[in-house]
Structure 1
Amino acid sequence: MSSDKYVECQIIVENYDRVCFHNQDTGSDYFGNLYLAPICRKIAKFENLLRAKKLKKRQAFEEFGTLLYKCLFNKDVDNALGEIIKEIRESKETKNPKRYRLQLIFRGEANELAGLPWEFLYYPGSETRRGFFIVDDPYLVISRYISSASGRGNLNITEDSLKVLCVTSEPEEEGIGEVLPDLTIKVIENLKKSYLIDLEVLRNKNKQEVLAKINNIKPHVFHYIGHGRFDSQEQVGEITLVNSAKKVEWVSDRTFGEFFSDFQPRLVILQACQGGEVDFTANYAGLAPQLTRNEIPAVIAMQYPVNNAVASFFSEAFYQALAKGESVDAAMQQGRRKIARDHPFDSEFYSNRDFGTPVLYMSARDGYIMPRPKTIKFDAEVLINSPDKLKKAINILFNSEELANLEKFDDLVFSLRMSYEELAGETQQEKINALVDQLQNEGELESLIKGIKYFKPEAFTNGK
């Protein structure tokens, strides 16, 4: 990413009459009407089809997304967003493209509208411009905002590594449905080889054991994989854990929120698996908002259950973007794009509801959770004695968009009088591994360290 700064804009649904577009950068407000009554039946029809998984064509998703767009964006609000999109398009021609963070806020009586799947918003095309799904634009990231008692801080951690605690719940009970967490866990395990990520997995533990683990390791990211449900009558969300007999134990959103009363992760991910009779909905009054109100600054939930293969696609793109230094909302956008463009079961882009299923609730102003790669300092002596850490360091220094004056990994290889093409492996990470392994076997790691220092002297402690 070429710029650290996001311009924050808020779409505030103040009531059933008025919508405000607020540009934090300029302090400007633009107003429009909430255009809901004339199209509410059409929206309800599409939403029912969406929940029943009967929307299968991109054209149908575009039509639904356009209805959602018209509901919020009209008059000056529509014009304000149009100007931002124009700025983004024009700035892409420079080396410092503009980036905007678009946050949805629902207040007062309009609070119930937050249950609509706004992640399917579609910016309609015209004779002079193409239409697009907003979740597809990496320069216009979208999330939902819920205020927190602790105010608007940031997500950034002080440690060098991102600590992830993955809790899986697979109760042995008929009707709950199968949970297959291994694909997602494998994705994170693989990323550990290349990025500064530490992972601990807790399988099928009761609430006391989960609580103890949270307070013991103090994870930055708490990733739950299991089943959940939302009781619309009681307005209570629940997730499954297991009891001592490995049977299901339903935990309410209030109790689950209290798991984090002593320590609050920077991010909680609620991954709802597909199958069984129990579904989870990321309703505004459910688990995700409850956690945000309990001072968890960022929560990701699924509006609909997702296939395990799709969940792993999302996780790979999301965690990889985080590890490279992207903000949580930008990483979400990368995960959604991955689902839309590389869906394992649909060849046509945006023909499956999965791309709009992940929802981000964020109260933090700054969405960066990883330490910025350009501020990380490496100890040459540590790297030369730890090939695994050396591989991670090379990946960060030569494969991160966060770094200014980015050199390519093949330039490093060439400086060592070696051939990039002849290194074993297809991907850059495989070639990094091959380079380190080869030079380690030849006793030439010191030459590699010198080569890295030539390109990145500022990346080492005390310049050594």
Structure 2
Amino acid sequence: MESQNSESVCQLLNFDITIRGSAAPYSVTASYRQRTAEGAFALDLTQEAWQEQCRRLGQVDEAPGTAFIRHVGSQIFQDLFRDQVRDLWIRARSDLETGQAEGVRLRLALYPPAVAALPWESLYDPDRNMAFGASGRTPLVRVENLFQHVGPSREIQASLPLHLLLAAPEDPTGLMAAQAEIQLVRQMAERLGPAQMQVTTLEGRFGILELHQALQTHRPDILYVASHGEPDGILLWQQDVPHLATSESLRVTLERATSVKLVFLNACLAGQGSAQARFTSVGSQLLQAGVPAVIAMQYPIPDEVAVDFARHLFDELLNGPCPGAIDMAVAGARSTLYMLAPHTFSYGTPILWLNAEDGRILRLPRGSVGSASTARPSMARPHPAPVHLDLSQEEAWLAELVAGLDLTRLPGQLRFIARSWEESVEECRSLLYQLRHLEQQGDEPRYAAKVSQYRAHQQRMERLRSSLEDAIRGHGG
């Protein structure tokens, strides 16, 4: 019964946006539930204002700030969602808010290179005060739906433990702490447990041929690359000399590595596209290789933040409400980063390219997931999943959770986390209200699905609370 409930929570509806054209204004086609809308889009990266805004988003030493990120995302939203397209989006949003849809997957097919190069992961709805990239119910993905560009995705059947190949070449600049990142990734796998993930490491002065051999020998499900990156390549070695392995050579390597279902590139700029030509970034080229999903960074990102994103990502992928669904896992990981640091663009730096209709890149054996979790419950709460929840008991649990956390003890520079916590609490209250309404209506299927959604939100709240407690303790609170 519980797996059926989880499946219903994972049945997201697609809101497809396709942008075409050779110059602004570009043509827009939106589709949702067999309805379509036409529109226009006038923004692209050839415009000086957008070049400057993207430069600010990519700054690591000086965070752009929440207000600026929202300003950038609002511009894209307001230019895209106009007239017919806005009307269609309002319909989708209404379905989401009334429970007619458990989630809406925003799928972006962006054909003009200068449009694709915009920071779509910053998309922000000012009417609802919602960052798409940080919302677990509106995952945002980039797709390529022309068969002439991307062929069929490969087989997604997998078994536990998942095998991750960590490729971490020696850093000739000394700027990257390769051993520290290797240790962080291993700790991430240890948290998940050996029954869920095992890590094989390729390190030192290796090149593209050694990477190819490792992929053929170990046949991993996931390839994690930690290196320096450029939009058109990844830094490896060749004949004991640093060498940029081009996106084309990496693509050929991954075409033959048919076991790989996800590539995670922790290499700055490997996801940054060109404003002049399509399929030039490493990330987009690997999607063409047939990999079901590719995650790459469009801006510089601190190594520890990238690893933290990966930890939340794999936890959600294996133990979240939708096991095997990479779009939901990315949405969950983005949401966590946003809660902790909305003033940085870390949550929007990873780009997800998806070559899977429903977001599922792993089809795991039934009953094989959900047995372990990285969550650290902060207090006992009712976990059994009865047919009907005792909503009074759940409301009491929420009241106790809120009362037991003193946000005034947060240091000043971390007060922004309080707002994320408050929004999470309000979402929980909204879910309880919806559950009470569905219970009164006697709508059993939607009630059961909403229970699964509520349970998943409880787990995220506990993880956030744990992070808040760590922040308070870490600053002597």
Alignment TM-score, normalising by the size of structure 1: 0.70
Counterpart in the other structure of 2:31: 22
Shift of 1:138: 0.8
2:311 is aligned with 1:316 = yes
Which runs of structure 1 show a deviation greater than 6 angstroms over 4 or more consecutive aligned residues? none
Cα gap change, 1:395 to 1:185, in 2 (>3 Å): closer
2:357 is aligned with 1:365 = yes
Structure 2, gaps ≥5 residues long = 1-5, 274-278, 377-382, 387-477
Shift of 1:59: 1.0
Cα gap change, 1:21 to 1:184, in 2 (>3 Å): farther
Cα gap change, 1:69 to 1:117, in 2 (>3 Å): same
Say whether the 8 Å CA contact 1:21–1:29 is kept in structure 2. yes
Say whether the 8 Å CA contact 1:167–1:201 is kept in structure 2. yes
> SS of the residue aligned with 1:260?
helix
Say whether the 8 Å CA contact 1:280–1:305 is kept in structure 2. no
Q: Distance in 1 between matches of 2:345 and 2:63?
A: 7
2:234 is aligned with 1:227 = no
Cα gap change, 1:114 to 1:327, in 2 (>3 Å): same
Counterpart in the other structure of 1:422: none
Counterpart in the other structure of 1:48: 55
Cα gap change, 1:183 to 1:32, in 2 (>3 Å): farther
Shift of 1:55: 4.9
Q: Distance in 2 between matches of 1:78 and 1:393?
A: 38
Shift of 1:121: 0.5
2:14 is aligned with 1:8 = yes
- CA deviations on 1:356-399 (whole Å, 9 max, x unpaired) are 101001122132234446x137xxxxxxxxxxxxxx88438x99
Aligned counterpart in structure 2 of residue 242 of structure 1, from 212, 237, 246: 237
Counterpart in the other structure of 1:100: 104
Q: Distance in 2 between matches of 1:289 and 1:214?
A: 20
Counterpart in the other structure of 1:262: 256
Say whether the 8 Å CA contact 1:33–1:72 is kept in structure 2. yes
Structure 1, gaps ≥5 residues long = 231-236, 274-278, 344-349, 378-391, 400-405, 410-464
> SS of the residue aligned with 2:9?
coil
After the TM superposition, which of the residue ranges 3-12 and 61-70 deviates more from structure 2? 3-12
Q: Distance in 2 between matches of 1:35 and 1:317?
A: 35
Shift of 1:254: 0.6
Counterpart in the other structure of 1:164: 164
- Aligned-residue CA RMSD in angstroms? 2.9
Shift of 1:260: 2.0
Cα gap change, 1:187 to 1:123, in 2 (>3 Å): farther
Output aligned runs, 1:308-387, within 5 Å. Answer: 308-324=303-319, 325-343=323-341, 350-372=342-364, 375-376=366-367
Shift of 1:186: 2.8
Cα gap change, 1:309 to 1:19, in 2 (>3 Å): same
> SS of the residue aligned with 1:261?
helix
Counterpart in the other structure of 1:347: none
Cα gap change, 1:308 to 1:408, in 2 (>3 Å): farther
Say whether the 8 Å CA contact 1:267–1:299 is kept in structure 2. yes
Q: Distance in 2 between matches of 1:296 and 1:86?
A: 34
Shift of 1:151: 4.2
- CA deviations on 1:285-319 (whole Å, 9 max, x unpaired) are 21111111121121100011211221122011100
Q: Distance in 2 between matches of 1:140 and 1:152?
A: 25
Name the aligned partner's letter for residue 359 of structure 2: G
Cα gap change, 1:195 to 1:305, in 2 (>3 Å): farther
Counterpart in the other structure of 2:83: 75
Shift of 1:12: 0.5
Larger Rg: 1
Shift of 1:218: 1.3
Output aligned runs, 1:278-293, within 5 Å. Answer: 280-283=270-273, 285-293=280-288
Counterpart in the other structure of 1:421: none
Aligned counterpart in structure 1 of residue 116 of structure 2, from 104, 114, 117: 114
> SS of the residue aligned with 2:299?
coil
Shift of 1:13: 0.5
- CA deviations on 1:305-349 (whole Å, 9 max, x unpaired) are 211221122011100011121510111111111212224xxxxxx
Cα gap change, 1:8 to 1:197, in 2 (>3 Å): same
> SS of the residue aligned with 2:55?
helix
> SS of the residue aligned with 1:181?
helix
Counterpart in the other structure of 1:190: 190
> SS of the residue aligned with 2:372?
helix
Counterpart in the other structure of 1:415: none
